[in-house]
Amino acid sequence: MKKVAVAILMVAVVCTSLFAQGGSEAAAAVVTNAEKPVVFFNRQPSDPVTGVIDMEVMNWNDKTYYVGFDAAGGGAVQGQLIVDFLASADPAVVDRNGDGVIGYVLCIGDVGHNDSKARTQGIREALGTWTGSTDPGVENTKEGSANVGGTTMPVVELDSRAMTGTDGTTWNANAATDAMGGWATRLGDQIDMVISNNDGMAMGCLQASNYPAGVPIFGYDANADAIEAIGAGTLTGTVSQNVDAQATATLQVIRNLLDGLTGDAVVTAGITEPDQYGNKISASVDYVPETKALLAQNTGVNSSNWTEYQAGARDTGIKQTDAPTKRVLLTIYNSGDNFLSSSYIPALQYYAPLLNIDLTIVQGDGQNESSCLDRFMNLNSYDAYAINMVRTNSGRDYLDRLQY
């Protein structure tokens, strides 16, 4: 009798510790970490040089997905935004020194990042300066041309920089402030436009004390401060990569996988059709089966439509669910990244409670993978993982930790 009581007690203790370890009791007891959902987001597992998607990482298990936005399409949208601006501009105003040439400078961001490459390509293609390279430097460009208010004018890229900070971080806004200061001094009124592959760097350029007032400037991301700057007339345009759709899709795929959905339902429930709780993302998100990627669409934002993108507008298609609570560990490559900290994380924090996802966010320093990896721990305690790597070819390092 006594032995039975001890045995029951032991089982109770073991169960309690399993429950304590795992967010989801059943999952912790039977599912190994290697079998749990893994969703990469914002930084697609890929070769930093060629941009080729790393399908070994993407095929880690049948619950591995990527959520981002249509990077190539976004580059084209950004290019078109600039082309449209020029088409309706007055050549006498845009061409500041009247030399008959439109000169622009370009903030690239992260030469090893797909999004950055796609934007550089989209801009250079639209302005005719594309030579097949996304690298910085005038030697990687050629003279292009554009319709400026009805007149075809030559376009030249005067200079471009990756914008790596002194600490090694990419997409660095301070580096953009410094570069802009140098450009304004060196190139003066040859600069007719400033183009940046994200809003953080564009806002950084505007911080330069000698920024040539009134020179058109374009960013990307539709961060709240950039949208306000468009309203105030200091920023000319930006592109929304629909952060709400991306943040929700990241959480929704995890929700679907943890709810046991399989096949197409994983990428359609709550995304292109209502899920079992009646939720559906309002914006369009496309699934690319070849790369297991869910991609939100981009839209150009300028003075004609900026009010639609003002902060606080959340997707009303997502409501509170009664889904069982699940625990998710999510990494952010750089706590200082403007887009992730001012747009993506607030969106995650808004939608996660609605989907009953208990989110633990850990943030890195943007330069050392270990700053994220060292916080990718207590893995048994989570039901799923969402990963934003420092380097796009580090996916394997995270997956290796899920082996055990």
The residue among 23 and 237 lying less far from ligand BGC, judged by its C-beta, is: 237
Residue 257 Cβ vs ligand BGC, minimum distance, rounded to whole Å = 23
Closer by beta carbon to ligand BGC, 21 or else 335: 335
Q: Least CB distance from residue 390 to ligand BGC, whole Å?
A: 9
Q: Using the minimum distance from each CB to ligand BGC, give the nearer residue, 24 or 248.
A: 248
The nearest distance, CB 198 to ligand BGC, in angstroms, is 3
Supply the minimum distance, in Å, between the C-beta of residue 287 and ligand BGC.
19
**Pick 202 or 328: Cβ nearer ligand BGC:** 202
- Residues with Cβ within 8 Å of residue 333, at least 6 apart in sequence: 43, 340, 364, 366, 372, 388, 389, 390
CB contact at 8 A, 123 and 132: no
- Bridge partners for 67 per DSSP: 41, 294
The distance of closest approach from Cβ of residue 42 to ligand BGC in the complex, given in angstroms and rounded to an integer, is 5
Q: 3-class DSSP state for residue 245?
A: helix
CA dihedral 223, 229, 233, 237 (to 10 degrees): -20
Cβ 278 to ligand BGC shortest distance, Å = 30
Report the C-alpha gap between 193 and 156 in whole angstroms.
10
Nearest residue (CB) to ligand BGC, 105 versus 118: 118
Q: Which CB sits closer to ligand BGC, 23 or 364?
A: 364
**Residue 98 identity (one-letter amino acid):** G
Closer to ligand BGC at the Cβ: 354 or 389? 389
Task: Give the nearest distance from C-beta 138 to ligand BGC in angstroms.
Answer: 24
Q: Which residues have CB under 8 Å from 160's CB, separation 6+?
A: 105, 106, 107, 108, 120, 136, 137, 138, 141
- Smallest separation (angstroms) from ligand BGC to the CB of 324: 31
Q: What is the CA 181 to chain-centroid distance, rounded?
A: 27
Pick 43 or 63: Cβ nearer ligand BGC: 43
SS3 331: strand
Are the CB atoms for 326 and 129 separated by under 8 Å? no
Helix (H) or strand (E) holding 112: none
User: Shortest approach of ligand BGC to residue 393 CB, angstroms?
Assistant: 14
The Cα–Cα gap between 238 and 299 comes to 9
Residue 171: partners with Cβ closer than 8 Å, 6 or more residues away: 109, 110, 113, 116, 163, 197, 198, 200, 201, 337, 338, 339
Q: Is 314 helix (H, G, I), strand (E, B) or coil?
A: coil
Burial of 319 (0-12, 13-18, 19+ CB in 10 A): exposed
* 387: alpha, beta or left? (left if phi > 0; alpha if psi -120 to 50): beta
**Chain residues that interact with ligand BGC, rule: CB under 6 A:** 42-43, 115, 171, 198, 200, 220-221, 337, 339-340
Question: 42 or 252, CB closer to ligand BGC?
Answer: 42
Which one, 37 or 200, has the nearer CB to ligand BGC?
Answer: 200
d(CA 64, CA 39) in angstroms, rounded, equals 6
Rg (CA), the chain: 23
For the bound state, the minimum distance from the C-beta of residue 62 to ligand BGC, rounded and expressed in Å, comes to 26
